[in-house]
A and B are shown apart, each in its own frame.
Chain A
């Protein structure tokens, strides 16, 4: 709820009824003293106004707002980078290796190796050459 902060008028608000009665009497006096009501009113403003306006203004005072209520709600939350990870099955690097996907001189590698479409030329029989290519394509161990 907005807080009404009207300073010294707060006191005037609490005594509004009493002051309205006084205003009534003062106004009636002002009217009775002169035939020209407006002139009488103008002349009595310095006397009437100080008593009338506090009560009247207080009686009719409203509070106008600018701005909307801000929020400190976001300040309570830390900045968070949250991550969720899905686990994968146990690894067997010795017998299955890991993806490499590039041309390699085989002497630079060790252990299990799997090749794609291997090509090799040996000083041997065609059967031996085909056997080597079959083994390279099905997985072998460089030891």
Chain B
């Protein structure tokens, strides 16, 4: 076989493998949507049908009205965006402090902060639960949002610090000559130059918090206060055998995360790579 036809063969095989793999990878999501649109006869058809006939949108209406999903959505949005905005702001401030400001213990505290990544959530959740019980914060969104805004994620702080450290200090000096305060430097110079990190961390936080199950499980009890993931679990408890409804609800919970991912894809993958490279 000639050189170029060997290469063509190799390329074709590669393409086939990639298409095959990607199809398998994306298929569960496709199946989720497909199942959500089936009516009962199609649901239990064997062999399984991919495209339902007829397409039954009714499942969505039935599923989303049987439990207060609009409240779940509201709670999830408040939690996610609260954690996002507060978390990104505080992580960037802390990262800036570590990156650009000289103070005793800078290095040490930074190492301490990084080492907290190793701490499993199980070892702090029980005292946190007791603390919030005393504060009477249980069954509210406060135990979810407040820790996220106060140094919520060391990795995010780390990312900001790394990025800020790479911004040339000459810009600082120029700003100081113009009479800018340290906070002013942060706000007017460093932040505008750091939009990629802000975007990446925002998206990370979004995905992390939108689907968060454990913390709502621990801290939220009454039905009206539940988030989407928790509400979905509650829904599962009552409607276990109604697979079409279950999949309709699941798809609804999944869609926002998928949309945000596609929109912010570039920053997302960039950000994950940032963690790995510097790690």
| Chain A partners chain B | no
Which A residues have a C-beta under 8 Å from some C-beta of B?
A: none
